[in-house]
Amino acid sequence: MLTNFLTSDHRDCDALFAKAENAASDGGFDAARAAYAEFEAAMARHLSIEESVLFPEFEARSGMVGGPTTVMRVEHEQMRAMMAQTRQALECGELDDFLGCSETLNILIQQHNMKEEQMLYPICDRALADRAEALLERMQAY
């Protein structure tokens, strides 16, 4: 249940990111900036859902503090830093820098998503099964 929602949210963020990259590749910097802002907002929401709802619930239930959620938080910070660098390149109209940063960012995101989708989310589904419906409501309202 949680895996499906969060994985779908990953795909939505991926689509927004691709939209920004495509617009930049086509030379449409205004469209690229708008699409990238939409992507960044969606990513910020997604990361906040995990950090404010999912991770604390999982840590409280499992007793695992300093485990997989800590690794995910570190990766979130890496992605935030790379998103800021990518945005800066786009704001400055540096197409080559934007595309280089976006390639690095995409690799970070895809590797991170794979860890969450294949390992962390299924563990959370099992550990939080009795709370899944309430957690899903909180995530959807975020």
92-141 pLDDT, tens digit per residue, is: 989 899 999 999 999 999 999 999 999 999 999 999 999 999 999 999 99
Q: In the chain, what are the domains?
A: 2-141 (1.20.120.520)
- Which residues touch 133 (CB under 8 Å, ≥6 apart)? 1
Residue 81's φ and ψ, nearest 5 degrees, are: -65, -40
Encode pLDDT of 19-69 as tens digits. Answer: 999 999 898 889 999 999 999 999 999 999 999 999 999 999 999 888 899
Q: What angle do CA 24, 90, 104 make, to 5 degrees?
A: 85
Give one DSSP letter per residue of 43-82, joined into a string. HHHHHHHIIIIIHHHHHHHH--SSSHHHHHHHHHHHHHHH
Output the pTM of the full model: 0.94
